[in-house]
Amino acid sequence: MKASIITIGDELLIGQTIDTNSAWMGAELSKGGFDVYRITSIHDRREDILNALNEAAGKTDVVLITGGLGPTSDDITKQTLCEFFNTHLIINNEVLTMIEEMMVRRNFPMNEKNRQQAEVPESCRVLKNSAGTAPGMWFEKDSTIFISMPGVPHEMKHIMTEIVLPDLKERFTSQTIIHKNIMTYGTFESKLAEILTDFESKLPENIRLAYLPASGIIKLRLTATGSEFNSLSALIAEQVSKLYKIIPEFIYGEDEESLEMAVGKLLSSLNKTVSTAESCTGGEIAHLLTSIAGSSAYYKGSVIAYDNIVKTQLLGVQDYIITKYGAVSENTVREMAVGARNMLKTDFAVATSGIAGPDGGTDEKPVGTVWIAVDSERGTVCEKKVFGNDRLTNIKRFSLASLNLLRKQIINH
Amino acid sequence: MKASIITIGDELLIGQTIDTNSAWMGAELSKGGFDVYRITSIHDRREDILNALNEAAGKTDVVLITGGLGPTSDDITKQTLCEFFNTHLIINNEVLTMIEEMMVRRNFPMNEKNRQQAEVPESCRVLKNSAGTAPGMWFEKDSTIFISMPGVPHEMKHIMTEIVLPDLKERFTSQTIIHKNIMTYGTFESKLAEILTDFESKLPENIRLAYLPASGIIKLRLTATGSEFNSLSALIAEQVSKLYKIIPEFIYGEDEESLEMAVGKLLSSLNKTVSTAESCTGGEIAHLLTSIAGSSAYYKGSVIAYDNIVKTQLLGVQDYIITKYGAVSENTVREMAVGARNMLKTDFAVATSGIAGPDGGTDEKPVGTVWIAVDSERGTVCEKKVFGNDRLTNIKRFSLASLNLLRKQIINH
């Protein structure tokens, strides 16, 4: 079962809008067992639309199309679909009534543009849009189903969820596809691939492994394809348990879990609290922790000690430590963590001090160097890491390394 | 000048990753005068990659390709490019040295996979990747330029900015296109469009205006097209000065300036300092301020007071204030700002207290409510704002509103 996606709109091509519809539709179709083999974004231009439709016709089972159904003159998808399917526009009374009712409710007068939205190609099946004015359209040609929907994400999602996905499911008794993500942190993609060479070569034929790295986190995605859900689930579970045996030190979670979620879950389950004392990360660790709903249960507060005076006067780092070892040092970061835990009265405290760049590096401590400490009742653990040259990437990587050290200390607790 | 974009990666098709690279590249190519007529996303599959390359060859001037250059076995772009361009992989010693140096720096041993990353197709021009291990590759065939880059966004952006965009600009002597952005904050897109109706209708024929809203910031982009740079510049300058007269209260900067950059520039020029006392924003304002290189000159530190105990014990907010008015109130946020400025000894202090959601709202103070205060030697200014229901969006919007209030107070200083 093959599927493709066509998204239409000038704004996608000139980068004004990021195409989030395709990812959503791709995920839904994949879950339904479709192989989405291509996503194409094109302008609101007749010839580009016709080309894209012609390329898909006969080669794929289902084509999902979004965009170009608005009431303004730049939207030409409906007219072009008429041309492609050799049909013409007629007023659909049901849609017209819906639009009229909506305009009354919103207290807007009906105009010619609104009336035009009730026009649909005669040969299509009209898909009711419960969230907006432009209906969806279902066509069939050369054994390919073409489904055109509005580009407004929540309108598309309504039509997909209420009509398209159930109908496609009924039409295609399909193969089953299961995805499972294992989230890892603490090594390189190349190193992980080396460790998993043997695991990968012994995977059953219907399971594939993909490496998806982002900012130091590597997502391992297992995809199983087959006919029966339960046996596939068991097959995936078997591979997952193998992974836990091979790389236990790198796995921190599953599915779409972030490090801050993993930390939050651990702290919640143990009823423990955390604070941070951040220099180079400038509040990013606090921001990541508080991005999780419900984080007020375990996150108490932070001191962002950018200036050394804040390190000494608020966190109680001794002056001579900074003078003797420097602000970016094991000794300083250790005192920062201890100071934060004392002052903010938490079970754990994380501290960072480093050089995010672009300036401030030396031969001994180049840009990208960070010292991290985690203090708890069991003492203080410190770690030094060296990353790259880009300031924002460094801040992100310093923060994730800090969350991971914190996570390990909570587990070892 | 036609261009197209091909993004490669299973994760794009199954919806695990939203393709943000295409939007960025589309925007950059458009600014450079290219008509980006198609974006195609495909799997890491030989036949799909070859099809996409064949479709583009000879039909477009430039094809940008990202993804599939990692060291793992699912990444096959390099091998497939070799097949398409009828060449083979050879070790590039310059790239090998770069990778070796990076591994030494990060204290990881080199393995075979790392070595393979230094292999490049013999016939390509190698584009140095200053942000990662996989280099970019530049090919030419049938009068089409093909440029392959890593899918990691910041690596792609480095190669684009440092090499690809300047080289394409030199190669294609095109009509002159000038873009000028005016950055605004403090109103809605529809309101701004209403205010600017007359301005827009009087624009010269070769100047277009676009509204680009994101998280409350609305970028007004003027695009002038013509043959001669100096006259176009003068024409744009004239329109910009009109905008400054029509909407002075909303304009905070130009080009790609962020609110945190604008604040940083003001503080630097006046030699003033700032600190923050954040509750609901959880460190995001500090993070935004410190994301700017050189911010240590004006940013001293913060207290993230998530828990009320931190508000009272560290920032000196009086207990009865929180009991009587609540943590989310003008009185509390005022004392937080005053407390932070005293403790961190800065010229300005920004404080926030609000309800980011999804829980914690009441009829009187719904989710999305925030109180913001800015304290300086001229006193304290407070502001209440109400945004929406999404936690992360609220944190971002609260932070931008805070930076804007800070900016206005610095200007009024």
- In this prediction the ipTM stands at 0.82
| Residue of A5, A16, A195 to mutate, interface with B, max B Cβ within 10 Å | A16
Instruction: Name the β-bridge partners of A185.
Output: A217
Kindly list the residues from chain B whose CB atom is less than 8 angstroms away from the CB atom of residue A200: 73
Please answer yes or no on whether A345 and B309 come within 8 Å at the CB atom. yes
Cα B207 to the center of its chain, rounded Å: 25
**Contacting residues for A149 by C-beta, under 8 A, at least 6 apart:** A64, A65, A66, A69, A127, A136, A137, A155, A156, A159, A160, A164
Structure tokens at A116: 């035009």
Q: Is the peptide bond before B109 cis (omega within 30 degrees of 0)?
A: no
Q: From B308, which residue of chain A is nearest by alpha-carbon distance?
A: A300
Question: CA angle A221-A227-A228, nearest 5°?
Answer: 85
User: How far apart are the C-alpha atoms of A256 and B268, rounded to whole Å?
Assistant: 41
Residue-wise DSSP of B23-87: HHHHHHHHHTT-EEEEEEEE-S-HHHHHHHHHHHTTT-SEEEEE---SSSTT--HHHHHHHHTT-
For chain B, the C-alpha Rg in angstroms (whole number) is 26
Question: CA angle B62-B65-B68, nearest 5°?
Answer: 165
Q: From B72, which residue of chain A is nearest by alpha-carbon distance?
A: A193
Please answer yes or no on whether A39 and B41 come within 8 Å at the CB atom. yes
Query: If we measure between CA atoms, which residue out of B116, B19, B18 comes closest to residue B65?
Result: B19
B161 φψ region: left (φ > 0), alpha (ψ -120 to 50), beta (else): alpha
A182 φψ region: left (φ > 0), alpha (ψ -120 to 50), beta (else): beta
Contact B367, B355 (CB under 8 A): yes
Please answer yes or no on whether A294 and B14 come within 8 Å at the CB atom. no
Question: pLDDT of chain B along its 413 residues, tens only?
Answer: 899 999 999 999 998 889 999 999 999 998 888 989 999 999 999 999 999 999 999 889 999 999 999 888 788 999 999 999 999 999 999 999 988 888 888 777 888 888 888 999 999 999 999 888 899 999 999 889 999 999 999 899 999 999 999 999 888 866 778 889 999 999 877 788 889 989 999 999 999 888 777 778 988 989 898 888 899 999 999 999 999 999 999 999 998 899 999 999 999 999 999 999 999 999 999 999 999 999 999 999 999 999 999 999 999 999 999 999 999 999 999 999 999 999 999 999 999 999 999 999 999 999 999 999 999 999 999 999 998 888 998 999 999 999 999 999 999 98
Q: What are the distances in angstroms from CA A9 to CA A67, A99, B218?
A: 6, 23, 20
User: How far apart are the C-alpha atoms of B309 and B311, rounded to whole Å?
Assistant: 5
Please answer yes or no on whether B300 and A290 come within 8 Å at the CB atom. no
What's chain A's length in residues?
A: 413
Structure tokens at B35: 């008509």
Instruction: Name the β-bridge partners of B375.
Output: B349, B380
CA distance B162 to chain A (A): 14
Cα B166 to the center of its chain, rounded Å: 20
| DSSP state at residue B184 | E
**Contacting residues for A363 by C-beta, under 8 A, at least 6 apart:** none
When comparing pLDDT for A174 and B175, which is higher? Answer: B175
Structure tokens at B396: 């971002």
**What does the pLDDT look like over A366-411, one tens digit per residue?**
999 999 999 999 999 999 999 988 899 999 999 999 999 999 999 9
Q: What are the distances in angstroms from CA B184 to CA A16, A95, B190, B194, B333?
A: 17, 39, 13, 15, 26
List % helix, strand, coil for chain A (3-state, nearest 5): 40, 25, 30
User: How far apart are the C-alpha atoms of B68 and B44, rounded to whole Å?
Assistant: 6
Q: Output the pLDDT for position B109.
A: 83
In chain A the domains, ranked by start, together with CATH numbers, are 2-171 (3.40.980.10), 176-254 (3.30.70.2860), 259-412 (3.90.950.20)
**Mean pLDDT, range A74-98, rounded to an integer:** 93
Maximal CA-CA distance, chain A: 83
Query: If we measure between CA atoms, which residue out of B185, B375, B188 comes closest to residue B262?
Result: B185
Contact A373, A382 (CB under 8 A): yes
Residue-wise DSSP of A48-108: HHHHHHHHHTTT-SEEEEE---SSSTT--HHHHHHHHTT--EEE-HHHHHHHHHHHHHTT-
Please answer yes or no on whether B40 and A43 come within 8 Å at the CB atom. no
Kindly list the residues from chain B whose CB atom is less than 8 angstroms away from the CB atom of residue A290: 282-283, 304, 306, 356, 395
Type of residue at A370:
V
Q: Nearest Cβ partner of A286 from B210, B283, B345?
A: B283
Characterize A382-401 residue by residue with b for buried, 16 or more Cβ atoms within 10 angstroms of its Cβ, and e for exposed.
bbbbbbbbbbebbbbbbbbb
Q: Which of helix, strand or coil describes residue B102?
A: helix
* Residue recorded with tokens 């959503």: A24
Please answer yes or no on whether B16 and A27 come within 8 Å at the CB atom. yes
Which pTM value belongs to this model?
A: 0.81
Q: From B150, which residue of chain A is nearest by alpha-carbon distance?
A: A213
Q: Which of helix, strand or coil describes residue A231?
A: helix
A147 φψ region: left (φ > 0), alpha (ψ -120 to 50), beta (else): beta
Contact B16, A27 (CB under 8 A): yes
Query: If we measure between CA atoms, which residue out of A135, A117, A114 comes closest to residue A126?
Result: A135
Query: If we measure between CA atoms, which residue out of A164, B231, B237 comes closest to residue B222?
Result: B237
**What does the pLDDT look like over A323-373, one tens digit per residue?**
999 999 999 999 999 999 999 999 999 999 999 999 999 999 999 999 999
Reported as half-sphere exposure (CB side, CA atoms, 13 A), residue A277 has a value of 36
CA distance B246 to chain A (A): 25
B134 φψ region: left (φ > 0), alpha (ψ -120 to 50), beta (else): beta
Q: What are the distances in angstroms from CA A212 to CA B20, B75, B311?
A: 15, 11, 41
Q: Is the dihedral of CA B71, B74, B78, B83 positive or negative?
A: positive
CA distance A91 to chain B (A): 31
Question: CA angle A265-A375-B339, nearest 5°?
Answer: 90
Contact A127, A149 (CB under 8 A): yes
User: How far apart are the C-alpha atoms of B99 and B96, rounded to whole Å?
Assistant: 5
**Contacting residues for A212 by C-beta, under 8 A, at least 6 apart:** A218, A219, A220, A221, B11, B16, B17
**Contacting residues for B111 by C-beta, under 8 A, at least 6 apart:** A190, A191, A194
Q: From A300, which residue of chain B is nearest by alpha-carbon distance?
A: B307
Query: If we measure between CA atoms, which residue out of B313, B311, B355 comes closest to residue B333?
Result: B311
Q: Nearest Cβ partner of A386 from B11, B105, B391?
A: B105
Task: Tally A–B CB contacts below 8 A.
Answer: 269
Q: How would you classify the pairing of strands A125-127 and A136-141? A: antiparallel
Kindly list the residues from chain A whose CB atom is less than 8 angstroms away from the CB atom of residue B307: 296, 300-301
* Residue recorded with tokens 């946020």: B333
Q: How would you classify the pairing of strands B62-66 and B2-8? A: parallel
